[in-house]
Amino acid sequence: MTCKANSSVKPMLIFSNRYYIRQINLHGHDAELLARNLTNSVALDFDWLENCLYWSDVTALGSSIKRMCLNTPGHQLLHAGSLQSPDGLAVDWIGRNLYWCDKGKDTIEVSTLDGRFRKVLIRKGLQEPRAIVLDPFQGYMYWTDWGDKPYIGKAGMDGSQFTKLINESLGWPNALTIDYVTREIFWADAKEDYIAVADLNGTNRRTVIARGPYDAVHHIFALTVFEDQLYWTDWVTKSIERCHKYHCDNYTTIATTTHRPMDIQVFHPYRQMQLKTSNPCTAAECTTLCLLKPGGNATCACPENYVLEEDKKSCRNNCTSSQFICAATYKCIPSWWYCDTQDDCGDMSDEPPDCPPFHCSPGQFQCSNGNCIQPNQICDRVSQCRDMSDEKDCDKHSCLLTQFKCPRNGTTQAYCISLASHCDGTKDCLGGEDELNCTPKTCLPNQFLCDNSKCIPKVWECDGDDDCGDNSDEPKTCAARVCPSNYFRCNSGRCIPLSWKCDGDYDCNDKEDEPDSCDDTTTCHPSYFKCQNNRCIPTRWHCDYDNDCGDFSDEVNCVLRNCSESEFRCDNGKCISSSWRCNGEYNCDDQSDEVGCNVTCKANEFACTSTNFCILSEWHCDGDTDCADGSDEEGCVATTCQGWQFACHNGAECISSLWQCDGENDCSDNSDENPALCSKTACPPGRFRCGNNLCIPESKICDGQDDCGDNSDEEAILCKHYSNCGSHEFQCASGHCINATFHCDHFADCEDNSDE
């Protein structure tokens, strides 16, 4: 039986691809670039009614959620400061709301489609929420969570009725989608490598495709369904795949990409059908948020720091004493944002005409004497202001979410300490309140508990290094240690997975895991290529111009394959899609795909100088570089930058204030990295000041890389007392942190492959 949509509208696939959002038809043709010059686009969804796209940009410097309506030029910023890692989002086309899950904050949140009235719906029971989908017809939402106990969750779209729908045979439940016709949920597991389907209540579960003869599933990130077909993105093959949703007999690769493809959706009105009955939000008459809920009804809700009035429709504020109440936008903002020159409220009520001069950077606290400090230095028992204005009324002060509040003790007022100091074995509060009612420290099953309560990966035990800091991971018993049967024992007593033996990396101190006999014993799957260092990589990576083996053996003696009729051959021999020829982007490593192009722009378009590409005239001199050669921002008159932006000294460019003094020249005149400017600029919260006054993310401290440029972020004294990784994370040899479940998953998540 075949299911086909009875519609004259042509279905299209839209997918995020790091720097771009693209559109293709269901066969991989008719490619069109919908959005470009993105930072790292991950999650993606659309609103058919208003013809708008919604996506998340996720970076270590700061994440955001944006939207672009295809009938209107430009992007609109919806959320920024409240986000960490929004890897999944979904549009409620009935209630007109936007839902997203943040695996950095471990929350599921909602706002209206225009970004107003943000509310956290679920903040407990989440560890690594990844994908989220909605069923507005029944009022439920579904999400995946690949924490140490992975599951697929279900709850009402109002946050009620939380339940773990499926929690068996899961590794990394990554991708998720709903078939609204057959009332089924499909998901893909990126660790166990399969696609499965079940009813919306989690029953009648069955596998669609798994590891086997097709070798079609490697590392699936996103999944969608339309008619009888499933469509998904694969990180390993960097491709978009398709097969029948129940048996996968017609498995086909419909497109390949230069970068890892991220989220994917079928862009068609049948994916967002309207209700056959009246919209429950119409009758609800909510002042702020109207949330659909199970049973086909709706309920009114309030944004963060607001609660419902007795009429169950309007909201009143519940702000703390350390917050300022905005006049008309239902927001509570930190009191130090008042009169900081930024319209944080959205109605200018925090920036009245009689504000005193503000000399600090936005987000900082301005002392009474004019000095500038960070918010986490307020009420910490030390007057960084030097006039005590940061230590006033601390009994009433609300500490940050990253802090623990020590109560008043005698004549000493309350103060804030780092949350990391809570239950760390040391009494930081005068009365010891930070060490009361603490639960015993436990580590994950794949971790070792040090005598000082620190958690480290088990494979670091008996490796000859003092990883605990108290040498408890290197006891004298290492010499007599016995390893499990599925582990290899190093001479030092270290136990490493058998998969690490003959993998091309020296994991034992004496290199006994890589003997000469490895060359004869290592075998790879038929669909993989064996490197000279005995690593196995996908065959598609062989002769792809990238050193995937690490020893360049996959790029030796390569014979240029014949490019198909739909491809263009670069001067270096590489084949790319012919649709990428003369598209304004350099898809060939040698940029030969943009040479000799003859493009005529329309009257409402601007012609890029050297790439022969056309952009909208409105994008010319708008402060954003849209041409690959930057010619659309050359020779422009002075540009007025927004409050959250830094104005480059050339007067023609605006960049994010977060990029100022970050060690990279984002302004074409390098004015954002001027040493004199950086020496007087305070680093924003979450950043580390280098010895040369650059500001880098704290996550880059002691990561094995000289991010500062003067190596001050890698000094031994600093790194000895600094740990980036959380209790559920694995620390790569380079210092980077990845989720602990990524350890020994046969996929190189660490740049140095130390997780494998």
Does residue 165 surpass a pLDDT of 90? yes
Instruction: Residue 315: name the closest of 327, 328, 330, 326 by CA.
Output: 330
Kindly report, residue by residue over 344-398, the tens digit of the pLDDT.
888 999 999 999 999 888 888 999 998 999 899 999 999 999 899 999 999 989 8
Report the percent of the chain where pLDDT is more than 90. 42
Does residue 522 surpass a pLDDT of 80? no
Greatest mean pLDDT range, 25-34, 297-306, 597-606, 690-699: 297-306
Kindly report, residue by residue over 410-421, the tens digit of the pLDDT.
889 999 999 888
Q: What is residue 558's predicted lDDT score, i.e. its pLDDT? A: 83
Residue 740 — pLDDT band, cuts 50, 70, 90?
low
Q: What is residue 646's predicted lDDT score, i.e. its pLDDT? A: 81
Kindly report, residue by residue over 457-470, the tens digit of the pLDDT.
899 999 999 988 88
Asked whether 118 and 304 are in contact (CB, 8 A), the reply is yes
* Tally of CA atoms within 13 A in the half-sphere of 394 that contains its CB: 28
Paired residues of 163 in beta bridges:
154
Mean pLDDT calculated for residue range 539-550: 77
DSSP 439: P
Asked whether 214 and 251 are in contact (CB, 8 A), the reply is yes
The torsion angles phi and psi of 269, rounded to 5 degrees, stand at: -65, -25
Asked whether 212 and 248 are in contact (CB, 8 A), the reply is no
User: How much is the mean pLDDT over the chain?
Assistant: 85
Distance (Å, whole) CA 289 – CA 242: 38
Kindly report, residue by residue over 489-517, the tens digit of the pLDDT.
999 999 998 878 887 778 899 989 888 88
Kindly report, residue by residue over 303-355, the tens digit of the pLDDT.
999 999 999 999 999 988 889 999 989 999 889 999 998 888 889 999 999 99
Give the C-alpha distances (Å, rounded to integers) separating 295 from 45, 112, 143, 279, 308: 25, 21, 19, 13, 21
Q: What is residue 564's predicted lDDT score, i.e. its pLDDT? A: 60
Q: What is residue 292's predicted lDDT score, i.e. its pLDDT? A: 96
Asked whether 271 and 50 are in contact (CB, 8 A), the reply is no
Q: What is the pTM of this model?
A: 0.66
Higher per-residue confidence, 738 vs 370: 370
Q: What is residue 188's predicted lDDT score, i.e. its pLDDT? A: 94
Domains located in the chain, CATH noted:
12-281 (2.120.10.30), 364-433 (no CATH), 725-755 (4.10.400.10)
The torsion angles phi and psi of 719, rounded to 5 degrees, stand at: -70, -25
Q: What is residue 614's predicted lDDT score, i.e. its pLDDT? A: 81
Paired residues of 417 in beta bridges:
404
Q: What is residue 349's predicted lDDT score, i.e. its pLDDT? A: 94
Mean pLDDT calculated for residue range 608-631: 76
Residue 641 — pLDDT band, cuts 50, 70, 90?
confident
Mean pLDDT calculated for residue range 662-676: 79
Greatest mean pLDDT range, 168-172, 247-251, 284-288, 612-616: 284-288
Q: What is residue 46's predicted lDDT score, i.e. its pLDDT? A: 97
Residue type, 14: I
Residue 552 — pLDDT band, cuts 50, 70, 90?
confident
Q: Spell out the SS3 assignment of 613-671.
A: CEEEHHHCCCCCCCCCCCHHHCCCCCCCCCCCEEECCCCCCEEEHHHCCCCCCCCCCCH
Distance (Å, whole) CA 584 – CA 310: 57
Report the percent of the chain where pLDDT is more than 70. 90
Does residue 1 surpass a pLDDT of 80? no
